[in-house]
Structure 1
Amino acid sequence: RLDPAQTRELTLSLMTPEQRDEFLHTKECNFAFTAKNVGRFRVSAFVQRDCVGMVLRRIETRIPTFEELGLPHTLHDLAMTNRGIVFLVGATGTGKSTSLAAMVGYRNHNSTGHIISIEDPIEFLHNHAGCIVTQREVGIDTESYEVALRNTLRQAPDVILIGEIRTREAMEHAITFAETGHLVLTTLHANNANQALDRILHFFPEEQHDQVLMDLSLNLRGIVAQQLVRRPDGNGRRAIMEILLNTPLVSDMILKGEVHKLKELMKRSTEHGMITFDQALYDAFRRGEITQEDALHHADSSNEVRLMIKLGDSSPNALSRSAGRLGFSD
C-alpha cells in the first residue's frame, strides 16, 4: 500500500515535464503511457482531499477488427466514405475510442491516402499500411485541438480523426473539412443520435442554427451511438449501436430542424442500415448475446423492448398494432 507521498511521486514520474506542469497548475491531467513488457495505459490523474490520485485503464494496443468487436457492417461503409462527417457518440467508457480505432484500422488496410489523427491522449498506435497514418497528441505534439486543426489542411489529409469535439471552433473545423472533400471521424458526448444533433447545435448561437442544420444536412454521413452491455456469461461486454445514416429523407428532416422525427424514421429504415438502440438491444437478446434484464435496463423504452420480446418481432408495424391492442405506453 502506498502512502500519499509515494502516490504523488509515482504519479508525477509517469508524466512528461509538460504534463507535470499542467497537473501542478490545474490539478488534473489525462495522458497515456507505455510500460515496457506490460502494456499501454490511459491515465487520469487528479487531487482528492489534498492527496494525489490516479485511475489507470489498460489500452489494447493491437488494433481490433470489426469482426472481433462484433460491429455492424454499416461501419465498414462509413469508414470507407470519401467525404463528410461521422460522429461516434456515447458516455465515457462506452468504447467509442475502440470502435474508432477499428474504423481507422479498416480504412488503413483497405485504401491508400493520408490519415491525420489528433488525440488527447493517443491510445491505439497505428502502423502505416495502405495509408500513411500521422498521429498527433494534444499537449505533446501540438498545443491544443484548435491549434492542430488550424494547420491540418496544409498537411494534405484524406481522413481527419478528431479524438473529441469539445468546442465550437473544433466543430467549425470539422464541418469545413467535410465541405472541402475530406472524411472526418470524431467523437462527441451524447447518449443517442437525436441528442448528438442537439449537442452540435448548442455549440452555436441560436441565430446560426439554420446555417448549421443546412451544413449538417449536406455533410453528415452518419451518427453511431454506442453502449456496452455485459454478456450473459460475464465474459466481457457487447457493443450495442444505434445508427443514423444521412439518407435524402434524413437530410431533409435535419434541414427543417425536425430532429424529433428522426427516431421514428430510423425504426422504419433498417433496410438502409439504420437501427435504434431498442431494436439493437432486441436483436442482441434474440442472438443470446445479452440477457433480457440487461436489454430492458439499457433500453430507451423498456416497454417497447418488452413488447418486441413478447412478439418476437421488432418491426414498427407489428409493434404499433400490438401496442394499440395492449395499451402500452412509456
Structure 2
Amino acid sequence: MATILIDKLLQAAVKQGASDIHITVGQPPVFRLHGRMRQLDTKSLVPEDTVSLMKSITPERCQRELQESGSADFGFAFSDLARFRVSIFRQRGNISMVLRQIPNSMLTPEQLGLPDKVIELCKRPRGLFLVTGPTGSGKSTTLASVINNINETIDHHIITIEDPIEFYHYHKKSTVNQREVGVDVPSFAEAIRRALRQDPDVILVGELRDLETIEAAITAAETGHVVFGTLHTNSAAGTINRIIDVFPTNQQDQIRTQLGEGLIGVLSQTLCPKIGGGRCAAYELLNCTSGIKNLIRENKVFRIPSMIQTGAKHGMILMDDSLYNLWKAEKVSQEEVLGKAQHPTDLAKRIADAKRGLEQDEVAEASAH
C-alpha cells in the first residue's frame, strides 16, 4: 500500500513541479507549488500511513537516528526522474516528513538570471565566495549551477561537502568528488581539513553552520583554494557581521583581517513568485574590491551597502534595486517585491515615483499627438 502511494505522490510532485511534499498526520499530503501550499484531494493521513510512508523510503541508519534523536535527513533518487532531500521528524509523537525536490537538470547561470559578474568572481584562483538567503531561496540551485559551469569549462579538482548531497555532478572537464556528512565523513569541519590533503582547487561547503566549520573554510580559502559556502543571512553586510560574530571577541580582529584578505564576494538571494506562475530570484551581489576589503578590516561594515549602491561598475547590486528591476520588468507584483524588500518604505516610494513618472510620460505623449 505505502510503496504504491509514495510512488504516486512522487510522480505527481515531479509532474506538477512541486518544490516540496509535506506529509503529516491529520491532513492529506500537501504540495508546495510556486511557493503556495496546496492540499491534495485525498484522505487525511493517520499515524499508520505516515509510518509506512516513512519506512518505504528511509534507509535503516536514518530510521535508527529518528528513534534516537527524533529526526533525520537523507537524500534519495526517484527512478531517473528526480532526487529528493528528505527530512523526517517526530511531532506530537507521530511521524512527519518533508520531501524537497531537487531537479535532475542543472540550470545555467543565464537561466537563473545570475548577475553577470558572479561567474567571473567564482573563477578566481582562491578565496571565499558565499551564497546566502533564507531556507528555500535557491542557494543550492545557484551553487550547483556555478559548480557545473566550472566543471564544464576548467580542468579543476572539485570537492563538495554536503548534508545530504543534493545535485549529482559528473566528471566533465573537472574531476568532482562529493562527500556526504554522516555517510562519507563525520562533520563539515573535519571534511574541510581532510580536503586540504586531497589536492582540491575548489571546495564547496554545503553549510557554514558553526565556528569550527567557518574557521576551516576561511583557512582553506587562504591556502590557495576557492571555497563556496552558504549561510542563512539576508544581505551582504549581514553575512559579514554574522561570520565575525560567531567568533569570541578576542578573535574578531584577526577574523576581520582574514575575511578582508580572503573574501571574493557575497551573493544574497530571495525567490519571488512570478506574475503568471513560476518563480524568479532577486539578487544582491557584493564584489570585494579593495575599498570593501578595507571596510571589513577597519570594522566599518555598516558602510558596505552604500558602496554596493555605487559599485555598479564592479557588477554590484543591492537587493532592493534587484527587486525594483523585477517589478519594473513586470515579472513580479508590487506586493511581492515590497514583502521581500530590506527597506520597504523606500522601495514603495520609488515605485510610486516611477508610476507617477510613467503616467506623466503617457500624458505628455497623448498631448503631443
Equivalent of 1:79 in 97, 104, 122: 122
Cα offsets for 1:46-81 (capped at 9, x unmatched): 101101110112110212111221211111112212
TM-score, length basis structure 1: 0.91
Q: Which amino acid aligns with 2:122?
A: A
Q: Which residue of 1 aligns with 2:134?
A: 91
Q: How many residues align?
A: 312
| DSSP 3-state at the match of 2:178 | strand
| DSSP 3-state at the match of 1:187 | strand
Structure 1 position 223, deviation (Å): 0.7
Match runs of 1:145-156 below 5 Å: 145-156=188-199
Structure 1 position 306, deviation (Å): 2.6
Q: Distance in 2 between matches of 1:31 and 1:93?
A: 17
Whether the aligned pair in 1 keeps the contact of 2:115 and 2:285 (CA below 8 Å) is no
Do residues 127 (structure 1) and 170 (structure 2) align?
Answer: yes
Q: Which residue of 1 aligns with 2:154?
A: 111
Structure 1 position 310, deviation (Å): 4.2
Q: Distance in 2 between matches of 1:308 and 1:74?
A: 26
Q: Which residue of 2 aligns with 1:299?
A: 341
Equivalent of 1:163 in 194, 201, 206: 206
Do residues 279 (structure 1) and 321 (structure 2) align?
Answer: yes
Q: Distance in 2 between matches of 1:124 and 1:115?
A: 14
TM-score, length basis structure 2: 0.82
Match runs of 1:49-64 below 5 Å: 49-64=92-107
Structure 1 position 36, deviation (Å): 1.4
Do residues 183 (structure 1) and 226 (structure 2) align?
Answer: yes
Q: Which residue of 2 aligns with 1:31?
A: 74
Q: Distance in 2 between matches of 1:209 and 1:72?
A: 31
Q: Find runs of 4+ consecutive structure 1 residues off by over 4 angstroms.
A: 310-313
Q: Distance in 2 between matches of 1:311 and 1:192?
A: 25
Gaps of 5+ in 1: 314-330
Equivalent of 2:312 in 270, 275, 294: 270
Gaps of 5+ in 2: 1-42, 356-369
Structure 1 position 264, deviation (Å): 1.1
Structure 1 position 311, deviation (Å): 4.5
Q: Distance in 2 between matches of 1:112 and 1:185?
A: 17
Q: Which residue of 1 aligns with 2:265?
A: 222
Structure 1 position 9, deviation (Å): 3.0
Whether the aligned pair in 2 keeps the contact of 1:84 and 1:178 (CA below 8 Å) is yes
Q: Distance in 2 between matches of 1:305 and 1:85?
A: 31
- Quick one: structure 1 residues 268 and 311, their matched pair in 2 at CA, closer, same or farther if it must change by over 3 Å? farther
Do residues 257 (structure 1) and 299 (structure 2) align?
Answer: yes
Q: Distance in 2 between matches of 1:219 and 1:62?
A: 32
Structure 1 position 150, deviation (Å): 2.1
Whether the aligned pair in 1 keeps the contact of 2:188 and 2:213 (CA below 8 Å) is yes
Instruction: Indicate the structure (1 or 2) with the bigger Cα radius of gyration.
Output: 2
Match runs of 1:194-209 below 5 Å: 194-209=237-252
Q: Which amino acid aligns with 2:278?
A: G
Structure 1 position 179, deviation (Å): 0.7
Equivalent of 1:210 in 247, 250, 253: 253
Whether the aligned pair in 1 keeps the contact of 2:208 and 2:229 (CA below 8 Å) is yes
Structure 1 position 304, deviation (Å): 2.0
Q: Which amino acid aligns with 2:178?
A: Q
Equivalent of 2:332 in 290, 294, 307: 290
Q: Which residue of 2 aligns with 1:242?
A: 284
Q: Distance in 2 between matches of 1:48 and 1:184?
A: 37
Q: Which amino acid aligns with 2:121?
A: L
Q: Which amino acid aligns with 2:127?
A: G
